[in-house]
Amino acid sequence: MKKSEELFDVYDEKRNWLGVAPRSEVHAKGLWHQTFQCWIVRMEGDNAHLLLQLRHPDKDLFPNLLDISCAGHLAAGESVEEGARELEEELGLQVSFEDLIPCGVFAEEDFVSEQVIDREFCHVFLYQCDQDLRSYELQPDEVTGLYAVKVSALKQLLHGECAEIPALGYRRGADGAYVKEVWDITLGELVPHPMAYYEQLFQKMDERGWC
């Protein structure tokens, strides 16, 4: 184990706790572990948008790809409620766990490479925040940019009904300054998640009138 390496609780496929293991071992052996994931909904009139974060180029998993608004591993001994700290760490949002909308737990397997197998029990939440994108305080070593996409457009992209959709947001440049841009994103620029994952998310959004 590397010095100061993160430790995760690990589980079997039925979420029975097995023990604790360092991050490198968890991903090398494909051990099941837990993550906190929160999708931020931003309303513009009657149009619901989802925020996508641009992952830092130095991330070990899926660098330079767009992903969930906020996400992170749960450390060993950490509860799902405590995982809400990720919102403040990555985006500068102070949010009470009780204000999050639970979307359930999704078991996801990603065979990233021959050396990395990522098996996660994803605790998925929604949170509505209509503040301006530039008001977010992005964690510079984790998040390189933040973008908003229409939910209706994202669904079209995921279903193969279009090749690209516009994402409006900000990206951090080499000088540390954030530049506003419109990025026509393709499916290949999103971190891959199973359609069943998105269907579970969109079902909960539909219950709130966001889809």
pLDDT tens for 113-172 read: 889 999 999 999 999 999 999 999 999 999 999 999 999 999 999 999 999 999 999 999
Give this prediction's pTM. 0.95
pLDDT tens for 177-186 read: 999 999 999 9
pLDDT at 14: 97
Q: Name which residue leads in pLDDT, 4 or 6.
A: 6
- Is the pLDDT at 103 greater than 60? The verdict is yes
Of the options 3.90.79.10, 3.40.710.10, 3.30.930.10, 3.40.630.30, the CATH number for the domain spanning 7-207: 3.90.79.10
pLDDT tens for 44-92 read: 999 999 999 999 999 988 999 999 999 999 999 999 999 999 999 999 9
Distance CA 202, CA 183 (A): 23
- Is the pLDDT at 29 greater than 90? The verdict is yes
The token pair that represents 42 in the structure block: 């931003």
Distance CA 81, CA 61 (A): 24
Q: How confident is the model at residue 40 (pLDDT cuts 50, 70, 90)?
A: very high
Q: How confident is the model at residue 4 (pLDDT cuts 50, 70, 90)?
A: confident
pLDDT at 211: 80
Helix, strand, or coil here: 66? strand
Distance CA 92, CA 175 (A): 21
pLDDT tens for 194-203 read: 999 999 999 9
pLDDT at 136: 96
- Is the pLDDT at 3 greater than 60? The verdict is no
| Alpha-helix runs per DSSP H in the chain | 23-29, 85-91, 151-158, 195-207
pLDDT at 121: 99
pLDDT at 2: 56
- The beta-strand segments (E) located in the chain are 7-11, 17-22, 32-44, 47-55, 66-67, 70-73, 101-111, 117-128, 143-150, 165-172, 178-185
pLDDT at 114: 87
Cβ neighbours of residue 23 closer than 8 Å, sequence gap 6 or more: 5, 6, 7, 8, 73
CA angle 18/22/23 to nearest 5° reads 110
